[in-house]
Amino acid sequence: MVYLRCIECGKVYENEEMYTCPCGGLLEVSLDLDSIDVTFKLDGNNLRVWKYADLLPVKIKPISLNEGGTPLFRAEYLERELNIHRIYVKHEGLNPSGSFKDRGMTVGVTKAIELGKKAVACASTGNTSASLAMYAAKANLKAYVLLPAGKVALGKVAQALMHNAKVIGIKGNFDKALELVREISRQENFYLLNSVNPFRLEGQKTIAFEIVDELGYVPDRVILPVGNAGNISAIYKGFRELKTLGLIDSIPKMTGIQAKGANPIYRAFVESKKVIEPVTPETIATAIRIGNPVNARKALNAIYESNGLAEEVSDEEIISAQKILAGKEGIGVEPASAASVAGLIKLAGREIDVDETVVCITTGHLLKDPEAVIRACGSPIEVPADIESIKSVL
Protein backbone atom coordinates (compact mmCIF):
# COMPACT_ATOMS: atom_id res chain seq x y z
CA MET A 1 0.00 0.00 0.00
CA VAL A 2 1.20 3.52 -0.83
CA TYR A 3 0.47 6.41 1.52
CA LEU A 4 1.34 10.09 1.62
CA ARG A 5 2.73 11.27 4.96
CA CYS A 6 3.09 14.88 6.07
CA ILE A 7 6.63 15.62 7.21
CA GLU A 8 5.33 18.27 9.63
CA CYS A 9 2.30 16.85 11.46
CA GLY A 10 2.78 13.19 10.56
CA LYS A 11 -0.75 12.72 9.26
CA VAL A 12 -1.14 9.96 6.66
CA TYR A 13 -3.33 10.13 3.55
CA GLU A 14 -4.48 7.59 0.98
CA ASN A 15 -5.47 10.34 -1.49
CA GLU A 16 -2.75 10.22 -4.14
CA GLU A 17 -3.73 13.52 -5.76
CA MET A 18 -2.58 15.71 -2.87
CA TYR A 19 0.57 17.81 -3.05
CA THR A 20 0.68 19.30 0.45
CA CYS A 21 -1.01 18.65 3.79
CA PRO A 22 -3.82 20.96 4.98
CA CYS A 23 -1.41 22.01 7.73
CA GLY A 24 0.88 23.36 5.01
CA GLY A 25 3.49 20.63 5.37
CA LEU A 26 5.15 18.82 2.49
CA LEU A 27 4.07 15.27 1.73
CA GLU A 28 6.33 12.27 1.30
CA VAL A 29 5.48 8.92 -0.28
CA SER A 30 5.47 6.25 2.41
CA LEU A 31 6.00 2.66 1.28
CA ASP A 32 5.30 -0.35 3.48
CA LEU A 33 8.87 -1.59 3.17
CA ASP A 34 8.23 -4.61 5.41
CA SER A 35 5.77 -6.00 2.88
CA ILE A 36 7.85 -5.36 -0.26
CA ASP A 37 9.62 -8.29 -1.86
CA VAL A 38 12.77 -6.74 -3.33
CA THR A 39 13.64 -8.68 -6.47
CA PHE A 40 16.43 -6.49 -7.86
CA LYS A 41 20.09 -7.02 -6.98
CA LEU A 42 22.63 -4.27 -6.44
CA ASP A 43 25.08 -6.01 -8.77
CA GLY A 44 26.03 -3.23 -11.18
CA ASN A 45 24.00 -4.68 -14.04
CA ASN A 46 21.04 -3.40 -16.09
CA LEU A 47 21.15 0.08 -14.60
CA ARG A 48 17.92 1.94 -15.36
CA VAL A 49 15.30 3.70 -13.24
CA TRP A 50 12.80 0.88 -13.63
CA LYS A 51 15.27 -1.76 -12.45
CA TYR A 52 14.09 -0.59 -9.02
CA ALA A 53 10.36 -0.86 -9.79
CA ASP A 54 9.80 -2.75 -6.52
CA LEU A 55 10.38 0.56 -4.71
CA LEU A 56 8.51 2.85 -7.12
CA PRO A 57 4.86 3.69 -6.32
CA VAL A 58 3.09 2.96 -9.61
CA LYS A 59 1.11 -0.07 -10.72
CA ILE A 60 0.93 0.32 -14.52
CA LYS A 61 3.42 -0.05 -17.36
CA PRO A 62 5.81 2.90 -17.11
CA ILE A 63 6.12 5.75 -19.57
CA SER A 64 9.84 5.38 -20.16
CA LEU A 65 12.60 6.66 -22.43
CA ASN A 66 15.28 4.40 -20.89
CA GLU A 67 16.24 7.00 -18.30
CA GLY A 68 18.85 6.29 -15.65
CA GLY A 69 21.95 4.17 -15.99
CA THR A 70 24.11 7.30 -16.05
CA PRO A 71 27.86 6.78 -15.73
CA LEU A 72 29.88 7.19 -12.56
CA PHE A 73 33.20 8.65 -13.70
CA ARG A 74 36.38 8.45 -11.61
CA ALA A 75 37.71 12.02 -11.38
CA GLU A 76 41.45 11.34 -11.27
CA TYR A 77 42.59 14.91 -11.92
CA LEU A 78 40.48 16.22 -9.05
CA GLU A 79 41.74 13.44 -6.78
CA ARG A 80 45.34 14.51 -7.41
CA GLU A 81 44.69 18.23 -7.13
CA LEU A 82 42.55 18.04 -3.99
CA ASN A 83 44.36 15.14 -2.30
CA ILE A 84 41.16 13.16 -1.81
CA HIS A 85 41.54 9.45 -2.46
CA ARG A 86 38.31 8.67 -4.27
CA ILE A 87 36.21 11.21 -6.19
CA TYR A 88 33.46 10.20 -8.60
CA VAL A 89 31.17 12.24 -10.83
CA LYS A 90 27.67 10.90 -11.44
CA HIS A 91 26.79 12.60 -14.73
CA GLU A 92 23.01 12.97 -14.83
CA GLY A 93 23.31 15.11 -17.95
CA LEU A 94 23.41 11.88 -19.94
CA ASN A 95 19.72 11.16 -19.33
CA PRO A 96 17.37 11.37 -22.37
CA SER A 97 16.50 15.07 -22.04
CA GLY A 98 19.94 15.95 -20.71
CA SER A 99 19.16 16.23 -16.99
CA PHE A 100 18.30 14.29 -13.84
CA LYS A 101 14.69 15.46 -14.13
CA ASP A 102 13.92 12.49 -16.38
CA ARG A 103 14.11 10.14 -13.41
CA GLY A 104 11.29 12.02 -11.74
CA MET A 105 9.26 12.55 -14.89
CA THR A 106 9.12 8.88 -15.85
CA VAL A 107 7.45 8.17 -12.50
CA GLY A 108 5.43 11.40 -12.38
CA VAL A 109 3.98 11.09 -15.88
CA THR A 110 3.25 7.40 -15.31
CA LYS A 111 1.37 8.38 -12.15
CA ALA A 112 -0.56 11.00 -14.15
CA ILE A 113 -1.72 8.26 -16.53
CA GLU A 114 -2.57 6.00 -13.60
CA LEU A 115 -4.73 8.76 -12.11
CA GLY A 116 -6.52 9.36 -15.42
CA LYS A 117 -5.10 12.84 -16.04
CA LYS A 118 -5.16 14.39 -19.50
CA ALA A 119 -2.68 17.22 -18.97
CA VAL A 120 0.46 17.91 -16.96
CA ALA A 121 2.01 21.23 -15.95
CA CYS A 122 5.04 22.76 -14.29
CA ALA A 123 6.92 25.95 -13.60
CA SER A 124 10.54 25.71 -14.58
CA THR A 125 13.99 27.22 -14.75
CA GLY A 126 14.38 25.06 -17.86
CA ASN A 127 15.23 21.43 -17.23
CA THR A 128 11.88 20.48 -15.71
CA SER A 129 10.06 21.91 -18.71
CA ALA A 130 12.25 20.01 -21.18
CA SER A 131 11.74 16.73 -19.38
CA LEU A 132 8.02 17.26 -18.79
CA ALA A 133 7.49 18.00 -22.49
CA MET A 134 9.36 14.87 -23.61
CA TYR A 135 7.53 12.49 -21.32
CA ALA A 136 4.15 14.11 -21.94
CA ALA A 137 4.73 13.67 -25.67
CA LYS A 138 5.57 10.00 -25.12
CA ALA A 139 2.39 9.58 -23.05
CA ASN A 140 0.17 11.60 -25.42
CA LEU A 141 -0.65 14.12 -22.68
CA LYS A 142 -0.97 17.87 -23.06
CA ALA A 143 1.86 19.78 -21.40
CA TYR A 144 1.80 23.33 -20.03
CA VAL A 145 4.92 25.17 -18.89
CA LEU A 146 5.37 28.52 -17.10
CA LEU A 147 8.82 30.09 -17.33
CA PRO A 148 10.33 33.32 -16.00
CA ALA A 149 10.58 35.26 -19.27
CA GLY A 150 14.15 35.92 -20.40
CA LYS A 151 15.62 33.94 -17.51
CA VAL A 152 15.82 30.44 -19.01
CA ALA A 153 18.63 29.06 -21.19
CA LEU A 154 17.44 28.82 -24.79
CA GLY A 155 18.55 25.21 -25.18
CA LYS A 156 15.99 24.20 -22.57
CA VAL A 157 13.23 26.37 -24.00
CA ALA A 158 13.86 24.82 -27.42
CA GLN A 159 13.41 21.32 -26.00
CA ALA A 160 10.05 22.17 -24.45
CA LEU A 161 8.83 23.85 -27.64
CA MET A 162 9.91 21.04 -29.97
CA HIS A 163 8.15 18.45 -27.82
CA ASN A 164 4.84 20.32 -28.21
CA ALA A 165 4.51 21.89 -24.77
CA LYS A 166 2.53 25.11 -24.44
CA VAL A 167 5.29 27.40 -23.16
CA ILE A 168 4.25 30.62 -21.41
CA GLY A 169 6.73 33.22 -20.21
CA ILE A 170 5.75 35.38 -17.25
CA LYS A 171 7.17 38.69 -16.09
CA GLY A 172 8.50 37.39 -12.80
CA ASN A 173 10.93 34.87 -11.34
CA PHE A 174 10.63 31.10 -10.92
CA ASP A 175 9.06 31.38 -7.49
CA LYS A 176 6.22 33.48 -8.92
CA ALA A 177 5.82 31.04 -11.82
CA LEU A 178 5.48 28.16 -9.36
CA GLU A 179 2.87 30.04 -7.33
CA LEU A 180 0.86 30.65 -10.49
CA VAL A 181 1.13 27.15 -11.94
CA ARG A 182 -0.01 25.60 -8.67
CA GLU A 183 -3.20 27.66 -8.81
CA ILE A 184 -3.77 27.08 -12.53
CA SER A 185 -3.30 23.33 -12.07
CA ARG A 186 -5.89 23.35 -9.30
CA GLN A 187 -8.39 25.26 -11.41
CA GLU A 188 -7.84 23.32 -14.66
CA ASN A 189 -7.24 19.83 -13.20
CA PHE A 190 -3.71 19.65 -14.59
CA TYR A 191 -1.38 17.18 -12.88
CA LEU A 192 1.33 19.34 -11.34
CA LEU A 193 4.81 17.89 -11.82
CA ASN A 194 7.06 20.26 -9.96
CA SER A 195 9.06 18.74 -7.12
CA VAL A 196 6.28 19.60 -4.67
CA ASN A 197 4.73 16.46 -6.20
CA PRO A 198 5.96 13.64 -3.95
CA PHE A 199 5.60 11.00 -6.66
CA ARG A 200 8.02 12.79 -8.97
CA LEU A 201 10.65 12.70 -6.25
CA GLU A 202 10.29 8.93 -6.02
CA GLY A 203 11.93 8.61 -9.42
CA GLN A 204 14.82 10.83 -8.39
CA LYS A 205 15.64 8.66 -5.38
CA THR A 206 16.92 6.05 -7.84
CA ILE A 207 20.13 8.09 -8.07
CA ALA A 208 20.93 6.74 -4.59
CA PHE A 209 20.14 3.20 -5.70
CA GLU A 210 22.39 3.51 -8.75
CA ILE A 211 25.31 4.97 -6.82
CA VAL A 212 25.37 1.93 -4.54
CA ASP A 213 24.72 -0.37 -7.50
CA GLU A 214 27.66 1.07 -9.48
CA LEU A 215 30.14 1.54 -6.64
CA GLY A 216 29.33 -1.66 -4.80
CA TYR A 217 29.30 0.24 -1.50
CA VAL A 218 28.02 3.43 0.12
CA PRO A 219 30.15 6.55 -0.41
CA ASP A 220 31.05 8.71 2.55
CA ARG A 221 29.61 11.85 1.00
CA VAL A 222 27.28 12.88 -1.82
CA ILE A 223 27.62 16.46 -3.08
CA LEU A 224 25.02 18.04 -5.34
CA PRO A 225 23.65 21.40 -6.52
CA VAL A 226 20.55 22.64 -4.72
CA GLY A 227 17.87 24.78 -6.34
CA ASN A 228 14.27 23.84 -5.55
CA ALA A 229 15.79 21.20 -3.24
CA GLY A 230 13.84 18.17 -4.42
CA ASN A 231 16.87 16.17 -5.54
CA ILE A 232 18.84 16.21 -2.30
CA SER A 233 15.64 15.25 -0.48
CA ALA A 234 14.88 12.40 -2.88
CA ILE A 235 18.39 10.96 -2.89
CA TYR A 236 18.52 10.99 0.89
CA LYS A 237 15.19 9.16 0.97
CA GLY A 238 16.62 6.56 -1.39
CA PHE A 239 19.54 5.86 0.92
CA ARG A 240 17.19 5.73 3.91
CA GLU A 241 15.04 3.11 2.21
CA LEU A 242 18.02 0.94 1.30
CA LYS A 243 19.19 1.09 4.91
CA THR A 244 15.73 0.21 6.28
CA LEU A 245 15.65 -2.78 3.92
CA GLY A 246 19.04 -3.92 5.21
CA LEU A 247 20.70 -3.51 1.81
CA ILE A 248 23.21 -0.97 3.15
CA ASP A 249 24.41 -0.16 6.66
CA SER A 250 25.22 3.56 6.41
CA ILE A 251 24.03 6.78 4.78
CA PRO A 252 26.32 9.34 3.10
CA LYS A 253 26.72 12.85 4.37
CA MET A 254 24.35 14.82 2.14
CA THR A 255 26.13 17.99 1.07
CA GLY A 256 24.09 20.65 -0.71
CA ILE A 257 25.72 23.43 -2.73
CA GLN A 258 23.92 26.66 -3.58
CA ALA A 259 24.92 29.62 -5.71
CA LYS A 260 25.84 32.61 -3.57
CA GLY A 261 23.10 34.64 -5.26
CA ALA A 262 20.42 32.04 -4.50
CA ASN A 263 21.36 30.60 -1.13
CA PRO A 264 18.44 30.44 1.36
CA ILE A 265 19.19 26.85 2.41
CA TYR A 266 22.85 27.65 3.01
CA ARG A 267 21.86 30.66 5.12
CA ALA A 268 19.46 28.56 7.19
CA PHE A 269 22.13 25.89 7.68
CA VAL A 270 24.82 28.26 8.96
CA GLU A 271 22.28 29.60 11.45
CA SER A 272 21.17 26.06 12.45
CA LYS A 273 17.60 26.79 11.36
CA LYS A 274 15.01 24.42 9.91
CA VAL A 275 13.08 27.15 8.09
CA ILE A 276 14.46 29.36 5.34
CA GLU A 277 14.04 33.04 4.66
CA PRO A 278 13.41 33.51 0.91
CA VAL A 279 15.84 35.60 -1.12
CA THR A 280 15.66 37.38 -4.47
CA PRO A 281 17.78 35.05 -6.61
CA GLU A 282 20.44 36.02 -9.12
CA THR A 283 23.16 33.74 -10.49
CA ILE A 284 24.64 32.59 -13.79
CA ALA A 285 23.53 29.08 -12.80
CA THR A 286 19.99 29.45 -14.12
CA ALA A 287 18.90 25.93 -13.15
CA ILE A 288 19.34 26.75 -9.46
CA ARG A 289 18.27 30.40 -9.61
CA ILE A 290 15.53 29.86 -7.03
CA GLY A 291 15.00 32.05 -3.98
CA ASN A 292 12.21 30.18 -2.20
CA PRO A 293 12.80 26.43 -2.72
CA VAL A 294 9.62 24.45 -2.13
CA ASN A 295 11.49 21.47 -0.66
CA ALA A 296 13.71 23.47 1.66
CA ARG A 297 12.41 21.77 4.80
CA LYS A 298 13.01 18.30 3.34
CA ALA A 299 16.48 19.33 2.19
CA LEU A 300 17.49 20.70 5.59
CA ASN A 301 16.20 17.52 7.23
CA ALA A 302 18.36 15.48 4.84
CA ILE A 303 21.43 17.57 5.63
CA TYR A 304 20.98 17.56 9.41
CA GLU A 305 19.97 13.91 9.73
CA SER A 306 22.88 12.67 7.61
CA ASN A 307 25.44 14.86 9.41
CA GLY A 308 26.00 16.66 6.13
CA LEU A 309 26.31 20.34 5.38
CA ALA A 310 25.41 23.17 3.02
CA GLU A 311 27.84 25.49 1.28
CA GLU A 312 27.62 28.43 -1.12
CA VAL A 313 29.79 29.11 -4.16
CA SER A 314 30.22 32.20 -6.30
CA ASP A 315 29.47 32.38 -10.01
CA GLU A 316 33.22 32.62 -10.61
CA GLU A 317 33.81 29.40 -8.66
CA ILE A 318 31.03 27.69 -10.62
CA ILE A 319 32.51 28.65 -14.01
CA SER A 320 36.00 27.62 -12.87
CA ALA A 321 34.68 24.20 -11.83
CA GLN A 322 32.78 23.87 -15.12
CA LYS A 323 36.01 24.49 -17.04
CA ILE A 324 37.96 22.01 -14.90
CA LEU A 325 35.35 19.29 -15.42
CA ALA A 326 35.38 19.81 -19.19
CA GLY A 327 39.08 20.53 -19.70
CA LYS A 328 40.59 18.05 -17.24
CA GLU A 329 38.01 15.29 -16.82
CA GLY A 330 36.24 15.41 -20.20
CA ILE A 331 32.83 15.91 -18.58
CA GLY A 332 30.69 18.67 -20.09
CA VAL A 333 28.07 20.14 -17.77
CA GLU A 334 25.92 23.26 -17.56
CA PRO A 335 26.86 25.89 -14.94
CA ALA A 336 24.43 24.75 -12.22
CA SER A 337 25.79 21.20 -12.47
CA ALA A 338 29.30 22.42 -11.80
CA ALA A 339 28.19 23.85 -8.45
CA SER A 340 28.71 20.41 -6.90
CA VAL A 341 32.36 20.32 -7.97
CA ALA A 342 32.84 23.97 -7.04
CA GLY A 343 31.59 23.02 -3.58
CA LEU A 344 33.94 20.03 -3.46
CA ILE A 345 36.91 22.26 -4.30
CA LYS A 346 35.89 24.78 -1.64
CA LEU A 347 35.38 22.13 1.05
CA ALA A 348 38.50 20.05 0.29
CA GLY A 349 40.99 20.14 3.14
CA ARG A 350 38.45 21.85 5.37
CA GLU A 351 35.39 19.63 5.74
CA ILE A 352 36.29 16.63 3.57
CA ASP A 353 38.81 14.07 4.81
CA VAL A 354 41.57 12.72 2.59
CA ASP A 355 40.31 9.14 2.79
CA GLU A 356 36.66 9.88 1.98
CA THR A 357 34.86 8.46 -1.03
CA VAL A 358 32.97 11.39 -2.53
CA VAL A 359 30.33 11.33 -5.27
CA CYS A 360 29.57 14.65 -6.97
CA ILE A 361 26.33 14.73 -8.91
CA THR A 362 26.28 16.83 -12.07
CA THR A 363 22.68 17.45 -12.98
CA GLY A 364 22.59 18.76 -16.56
CA HIS A 365 24.48 18.54 -19.86
CA LEU A 366 26.82 21.20 -21.24
CA LEU A 367 24.58 21.76 -24.27
CA LYS A 368 21.70 22.89 -22.06
CA ASP A 369 23.20 26.38 -21.91
CA PRO A 370 25.53 27.08 -24.87
CA GLU A 371 25.26 30.83 -24.37
CA ALA A 372 26.95 30.47 -20.97
CA VAL A 373 29.80 28.57 -22.63
CA ILE A 374 30.41 31.34 -25.16
CA ARG A 375 30.36 33.95 -22.39
CA ALA A 376 32.90 31.94 -20.40
CA CYS A 377 35.17 30.77 -23.21
CA GLY A 378 34.74 33.35 -25.95
CA SER A 379 33.83 32.82 -29.59
CA PRO A 380 35.89 30.72 -32.04
CA ILE A 381 38.90 32.42 -33.64
CA GLU A 382 38.28 33.52 -37.24
CA VAL A 383 41.13 33.75 -39.78
CA PRO A 384 41.49 33.80 -43.58
CA ALA A 385 41.27 30.41 -45.30
CA ASP A 386 45.01 29.72 -45.75
CA ILE A 387 47.66 27.66 -43.97
CA GLU A 388 49.79 30.57 -42.79
CA SER A 389 46.85 32.32 -41.17
CA ILE A 390 45.88 29.14 -39.37
CA LYS A 391 49.46 28.56 -38.19
CA SER A 392 49.62 32.10 -36.87
CA VAL A 393 46.98 31.36 -34.24
CA LEU A 394 48.04 27.82 -33.28
Pick out the residues of the known binding site. 127, 227-231, 363
Residue 112 has φ and ψ, to the nearest 5°, of -60, -45
89 by DSSP, 3-state: which?
strand
Q: Position 331: which residue type?
A: I
Q: Give the span between the Cα atoms of 364 and 121, in whole angstroms.
A: 21
Annotated binding site for pyridoxal 5'-phosphate: 127, 227-231, 363
Alpha-carbon distances of 207 from 24, 111, 120, 144, rounded to whole Å? 28, 19, 24, 27
320 by DSSP, 3-state: which?
helix
Q: Give the span between the Cα atoms of 147 and 142, in whole angstroms.
A: 17
Nearest to 165, CA basis, from 124, 132, 200: 132
| Helices assigned H by DSSP within the chain | 76-82, 101-114, 127-139, 154-162, 174-188, 198-204, 206-215, 230-244, 264-270, 296-305, 315-329, 335-347, 370-377, 387-392
